[in-house]
C-alpha cells in the first residue's frame, strides 16, 4: 500500500491533483477540503493516500490530513458507500462538519449532501457514530479566496462528482443569482452546489 506521496504539484483541480514524485506523475483523486489545503507556492506537497483496487482499475485517493483519510476509510466500510461517494461526501462538507453531523445524528445536514438520501444518512449515523465519537479531529484548513476561471473549475468538479454538465451549469447559475458568489471560495461554491442539488 502507498501510505503517502511527497512531491511537486504539476496540476490540480477541485477533484484531482497530479503530483510529480521523483519524475513520476501520480494522478490522485482529492476532496474539496484537501484541494483548499494545497498551496502551489510550497516547494513540496505531502498527501496521505489510499489505493483502491478494482477489477478494472486502481485509483489513488489523496488527503491533506491523516484524519480525513481515516474518515474516508470508515466511509467506504459502510454498506453501499464506495470511494466515489465517499469523496463526494467529504466534498459536501469538511471532515469535522461531517463527524459532528454523524455524532449529533443530524440527518438533515447529511441529506443536504448530493447523493445522500435519508436511508443512507441513517445508515451512516448507525454505523459510524460510535467510531467518530472516539476520534480527535483537527480544525479544517483555512480556505483561500477564489481567483480566476471559477466557473470552469466548479463545473469541472461537479461533473467529476457525477453531475451532467448542463445540470452543473444550471446549479451554478442559480447560486450566482441567489448569492454574492464572487466573494466565496471555489470550495464554498462547490459545497453550496452540492447542497443545492440535494434539495
Summarize pLDDT for 9-18 with one digit per residue, the tens: 998 888 899 9
Q: Which domain holds residue 192?
A: 150-197
Query: Does residue 112 surpass a pLDDT of 90?
Result: no
Give the domain CATH number at 12.
2.40.50.140
Domain limit, last residue, from 15, 32, 63: 63
Q: How many domains does the chain have?
A: 3
Look at residue 16 and tell me if it is in a domain: yes
Each residue of 138-164: pLDDT tens digit? 444 433 334 335 666 777 777 777 777
- Residue 134 has a pLDDT of 65
22 lies in the same domain as 56 = yes
| Span 109-124, average pLDDT | 89
Each residue of 49-63: pLDDT tens digit? 999 998 888 999 999
Tell me the DSSP string of the chain. ---EEEEEEEEE-SSEEEEEETTEEEEEE--HHHHHH--TTSS-EEEEEEEEE-SS-EEEEEESSHHHHHHHHHHHTSTT--HHHHHHHHHHS-HHHHHHHHHTT-HHHHHTSTT--HHHHHHHHHHHHHHHHTPPPPPPPPPPPP-S-HHHHHHHHHHHTT--HHHHHHHHHHHHHHS-GGGS-HHHHHHHHHHHHT-
Amino acid at each position: 500500500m502507498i501510505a503517502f506521496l511527497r512531491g511537486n504539484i504539476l496540476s490540480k483541480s477541485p477533484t484531482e491533483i497530479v503530483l510529480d514524485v521523483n519524475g513520476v506523475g501520480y494522478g490522485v483523486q482529492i476532496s474539496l477540503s484537501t484541494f483548499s489545503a494545497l498551496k502551489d507556492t510550497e516547494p513540496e506537497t505531502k498527501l496521505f493516500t489510499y489505493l483502491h483496487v478494482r477489477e478494472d482499475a486502481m485509483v489513488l485517493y489523496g488527503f491533506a490530513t491523516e484524519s480525513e483519510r481515516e474518515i474516508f476509510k470508515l466511509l467506504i466500510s459502510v454498506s453501499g458507500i464506495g470511494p466515489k461517494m465517499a469523496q463526494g461526501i467529504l466534498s459536501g462538507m469538511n471532515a469535522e462538519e461531517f463527524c459532528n453531523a454523524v455524532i449529533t445524528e443530524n440527518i438533515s445536514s447529511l441529506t443536504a449532501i448530493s447523493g445522500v438520501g435519508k436511508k443512507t444518512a441513517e445508515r451512516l449515523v448507525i454505523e459510524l457514530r460510535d467510531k467518530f465519537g472516539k476520534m480527535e479531529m483537527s480544525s479544517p484548513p483555512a480556505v483561500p479566496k477564489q481567483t480566476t476561471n471559477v466557473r470552469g473549475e466548479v463545473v469541472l468538479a461537479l461533473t467529476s462528482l457525477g453531475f451532467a454538465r448542463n445540470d452543473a451549469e444550471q446549479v451554478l447559475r442559480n447560486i450566482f443569482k441567489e448569492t454574492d458568489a464572487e466573494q466565496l471560495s471555489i470550495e464554498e461554491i462547490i459545497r453550496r452546489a452540492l447542497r443545492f442539488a440535494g434539495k
